[in-house]
Each structure stands twice: as structure tokens, then as C-alpha cells.
């Protein structure tokens, strides 16, 4: 009897912090990680039978996923509210611990995010928060999903690979505009593409890396717009190797003229997974940018179109 009471107490404590987000299909939950970080996540449960669970993972920075103001509610994750309102998925989104802009005019992560965010944000802490949100969501749902789909954009694509590697319930991953291996390779790739004196640019990048590794836990020293602590963690992240460790089917989409993440880095995922005989679908967008814009496709219509195509891949796959 005591065991049952403890289990019930644990279950109801998860739901005690639920709050409906007016103007959206989401409910907000707050829980706590092993590292004592307060984790806020948003859940929109589909009414459809056997609806898949979709976790959407944002890119870099400390913008909050959902913000309420006098003008209404908006999300920093493109199409999050639209997808949740469609009702096809049970949709989950998670705030990075200690997220929220402290200086909206800061211009970059170093000046716009809080000390608490910089002190706590690493691959490990972020993946822990996401896996915790998935775990609690599965406890809450009345109808358990047969599929769990991760959608990660930019930084979120690499994080999605780590979640898939550490959580074998994940069945599908959409990686959009993310690195293919250590982000250190991205700096080298950009030097080859953009620098006249390539050796000097590469040497400078590795000198910065050496400085980071001398103080890998520093959240007050910055390079390339982020704290050393963030970089030392992300330099250990290898999305291609993570996806090889996972059970997930993969959809890879990127612009060939991406200036935020080099396309050649994203090709590493394609090469490694193809060579291993893994199930991967690859979509290259000629002359498209990080957000899939090109000279012929300005605005966000193309990004919206690529979202729809990636989800079509998922629905076609589970219909087989």
C-alpha cells in the first residue's frame, strides 16, 4: 500500500503545475531535473487515436519557446502553434533552463542571455531536460504513441541526435540545418570556403579551441558569441555518430548555401549513415540559406514548405 501511495503522489506532483496557455492548445508544466534545474515544458495532446508524439527542439540562444504579451501569444519555434493546432500530433516543446532574454537589444547570445543561463547550459543539461519532458509526457498520455518524432533545427538538430542516441523510444528524427560532426569541423570548413589565408584562419580557430579547453567550465569567458562552457560541451557532440547509435529513421534537409552551418558538415551525416546502410532520406536545397531562403524564395514560404515535406516523409513512412 505504501508503494502505491508513493507512486500516486509522484504522478500527481507532475500534474500539479499544469497551466493552460490561453490562445494555444498547450498546457504548461514545470518539473525539476536531477541538477535542480527547473524545467518548463508545453504539451498539446492530440485527440486522434495513436497520435505520434512530436518533440520540436529550437535552435541556439535563450529565447523562450512561448511568450505572452499584450499582443497575444507567439513562439520562437517556427510553426509550433500551427502544428499543434492541426491536431495531427501530440506536440511537446521544452524551454531551455533559465531561458529568456535579459537584454533584447544585446545583439548576440553573449549579451542577451542571463548569467544563470550561461552557468547551466550544456549539451548534457539540455538533453537531460528534454528526456525528462519526454518521460513525464509518456506518463501523462492516456493513449501511448507508437512513434516518437524529433524535429530539430540548427543547434536543435544536433541536440535531437543526442536525444535519439540516449532514448531508444525515438523512432524518427528530422534534422534541419544542423552540424554533421563536432562544430569545430564547421569552423575549419568555413575557413576553407571563406578565407584567403586558410592556414592562418584554421590556426586561429584551433588557438581559440586551445583557450576554451584550458578553461572548459568557464561561463564568463566567451568565444564566437558563446561561453567556453557551452563550446567545450558542444565540441564533444557528434550528430552523425549519435544517429548511428540510435534506432531512428532519419530525414536530413539543408540548404547548399548555408552560411550558419556548412553544407559539407551536414553531408557527413549522409555519408556515414548511407555507408552503414541506415534508413536516411536526404533533401538538398540548391543555393538555399540556413532558413531555406534563396534569391528566388524570400520570406518564410520555403521554410514552411520544407516543414510540410518533412512531415509528409514521416506520415508516408508510418503508413507503409
State pLDDT tens for residues 149-169. 999 999 999 999 999 999 999
The predicted pLDDT at position 6 comes to 38
Residue 240 CB contacts under 8 Å (≥ 6 apart), including other chains: 161, 180, 181, 268, 269, 271, 272, 273
Counting runs of H as helices and runs of E as strands, what totals does the chain give?
Answer: 12, 13
The predicted pLDDT at position 297 comes to 64
State pLDDT tens for residues 12-36. 344 446 899 998 999 999 998 777 6
Within-domain flag for 2: no
Q: Which residue has the higher pLDDT, 35 or 5?
A: 35
Give the highest mean pLDDT range of 45-49, 72-76, 266-270.
266-270
The predicted pLDDT at position 104 comes to 72
User: Is residue 286 predicted with pLDDT exceeding 60?
Assistant: yes
State pLDDT tens for residues 240-266. 999 999 999 999 999 999 999 999 999
The predicted pLDDT at position 211 comes to 98
The predicted pLDDT at position 106 comes to 63
**Do 68 and 31 meet the contact criterion of CB atoms below 8 Å apart?**
no
Average pLDDT for 45-62: 95
Within-domain flag for 290: yes
Give the model's confidence band at 11: pLDDT under 50 very low, under 70 low, under 90 confident, else very high.
Answer: very low
Q: Looking at residue 144, what DSSP letter applies?
A: -
Within-domain flag for 188: no
Give me the CATH number covering residue 216: 3.40.50.1820
The predicted pLDDT at position 145 comes to 96
Kindly report the number of other CB atoms within 10 A of residue 295's CB atom: 9
Within-domain flag for 13: no
Helix (H, G, I), strand (E, B) or coil at 77: coil
Report the domain count for the chain.
1
The predicted pLDDT at position 269 comes to 98
User: Is residue 107 predicted with pLDDT exceeding 70?
Assistant: no
The predicted pLDDT at position 3 comes to 42
DSSP of 157-209, one letter per residue?
HHHHHHHHHH-TT--EEEEES--SS-HHHHHHHHHHHH-SSHHHHHHHHHHHH
Give the residue numbers spanning the domain of 292.
18-180+206-319
- Quote the pTM value: 0.92
Q: Which residue has the higher pLDDT, 19 or 298?
A: 19
- Please state, rounded to an integer, the average pLDDT across all residues of the chain: 91
Cα angle, residue 312 at apex, residues 161 and 137 outer, rounded to 5°: 50
Within-domain flag for 257: yes
The predicted pLDDT at position 170 comes to 98
| 274 membership: H or E segment, kind and range | helix 263-275
Within-domain flag for 201: no
Within-domain flag for 4: no
User: Is residue 10 predicted with pLDDT exceeding 60?
Assistant: no
Within-domain flag for 40: yes
The predicted pLDDT at position 195 comes to 95
User: Is residue 208 predicted with pLDDT exceeding 70?
Assistant: yes
Q: Looking at residue 92, what DSSP letter applies?
A: E
Which of 128-132, 231-235, 296-300 is predicted with the least confidence, judged by mean pLDDT? 296-300
3-state secondary structure 47-63: CCCCCCEEEEECCCCCC
The predicted pLDDT at position 282 comes to 98
Q: Which residue has the higher pLDDT, 300 or 227?
A: 227
**Do 121 and 37 meet the contact criterion of CB atoms below 8 Å apart?**
no
User: Is residue 295 predicted with pLDDT exceeding 80?
Assistant: no
* CA atoms of 53 and 41, how far apart (whole Å): 14
The predicted pLDDT at position 318 comes to 97
Helix (H, G, I), strand (E, B) or coil at 117: helix
Amino acid at each position: 500500500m505504501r508503494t502505491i501511495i508513493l507512486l500516486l503522489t509522484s504522478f500527481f506532483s507532475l500534474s500539479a503545475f499544469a497551466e493552460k496557455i490561453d490562445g494555444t492548445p498547450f498546457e504548461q508544466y514545470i518539473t525539476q531535473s536531477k541538477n535542480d534545474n527547473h524545467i518548463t515544458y508545453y504539451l498539446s495532446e492530440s485527440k486522434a487515436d495513436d497520435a505520434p508524439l512530436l518533440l520540436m527542439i529550437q535552435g541556439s540562444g535563450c529565447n523562450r519557446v512561448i511568450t505572452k504579451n499584450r499582443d497575444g501569444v507567439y513562439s520562437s519555434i517556427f510553426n509550433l502553434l500551427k502544428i499543434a493546432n492541426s491536431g495531427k500530433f501530440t506536440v511537446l516543446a521544452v524551454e531551455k533552463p533559465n531561458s529568456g532574454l535579459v537584454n533584447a537589444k544585446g545583439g548576440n547570445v553573449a549579451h542577451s542571455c542571463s548569467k544563470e543561463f550561461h552557468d547551466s547550459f550544456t549539451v548534457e543539461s539540455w538533453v537531460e531536460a528534454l528526456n525528462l519532458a519526454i518521460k513525464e509526457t509518456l506518463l501523462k498520455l492516456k493513449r501511448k504513441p507508437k512513434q516518437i518524432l524529433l524535429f530539430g533545427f540548427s543547434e536543435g538538430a544536433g541536440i535531437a541526435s543526442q536525444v535519439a542516441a540516449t532514448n531508444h523510444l525515438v523512432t524518427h528524427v528530422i534534422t534541419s540545418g544542423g552540424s554533421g560532426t563536432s562544430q569545430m569541423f564547421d569552423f575549419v570548413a568555413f575557413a576553407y570556403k571563406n578565407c584567403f589565408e586558410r592556414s592562418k584562419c584554421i590556426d586561429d580557430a584551433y588557438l581559440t579551441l586551445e583557450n576554451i579547453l584550458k578553461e572548459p567550465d568557464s561561463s564568463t569567458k566567451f568565444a564566437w558569441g558563446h561561453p567556453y562552457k557551452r563550446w567545450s560541451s558542444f565540441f564533444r557532440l557528434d550528430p552523425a555518430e549519435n544517429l548511428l547509435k540510435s534506432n531512428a529513421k532519419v530525414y536530413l534537409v539543408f540548404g547548399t548555401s548555408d552560411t550558419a552551418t556548412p553544407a559539407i558538415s551536414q553531408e557527413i551525416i549522409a555519408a556515414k549513415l548511407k555507408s552503414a546502410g541506415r534508413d536516411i532520406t536526404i533533401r538538398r536545397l540548391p543555393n538555399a540559406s540556413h532558413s531555406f531562403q534563396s534569391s528566388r524564395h524570400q520570406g518564410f514560404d520555403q521554410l514552411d514548405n520544407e516543414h510540410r515535406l518533412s512531415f509528409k516523409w514521416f506520415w508516408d513512412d508510418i503508413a507503409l
